[in-house]
Amino acid sequence: LAKTTQPISMDSYEGQEVNITCSHNNIATNDYITWYQQFPSQGPRFIIQGYKTKVTNEVASLFIPADRKSSTLSLPRVSLSDTAVYYCLVGDLGGDKLIFGTGTRLQVFP
């Protein structure tokens, strides 16, 4: 599993766009990039997954440059309920390969 590096924390205000960048220099050719959101005492919630370029769903966008050594999770117009920890993972996420790092703690203020 490729090692990932992301900021420990970020602050934002309601209505703003938030971009969280993750570095994964050792990403392998077949690796996908996956982002999860987690609230206290709840299971991680799958947000988005991508391989290259840009992926968009109803809650977020994922931007992946051509070299795939980093990725950016974009949350449009955040609200207070987006306050959570966001995790970036790379590679196959099965079984014992699923390792959540410290993630990025996003705090949204009114």
What is the x/- site pattern for another protein, positions 88-107, by CB under 8 A? ----xxxxx-xxx-------
Q: Look at the block and give the residue holding tokens 């703003």.
A: 16
How many residues touch another protein under the rule CB under 8 A: the total is 18
One residue of 4, 6, 27, 34 binding another protein per CB under 8 A: 34
One residue of 12, 21, 49, 61 binding another protein per CB under 8 A: 49
DSSP letters along 17-41, please?
A: -EEEEEE-TT--TT--EEEEEE-TT
CB of 22 vs another protein, minimal distance in Å: 15
Structure letter (DSSP) for residue 67: T
Coil vs helix vs strand at 95:
helix
One residue of 21, 32, 63, 85 binding another protein per CB under 8 A: 32
**CB of 106 within 8 A of CB of 82?**
yes
Nearer to another protein, 41 or 67 (CB): 41
Give the end-to-end CA distance of the chain in Å, rounded to a whole number: 37
Binding site for another protein (CB under 8 A): 30, 32, 34, 41-46, 49, 92-96, 98-100
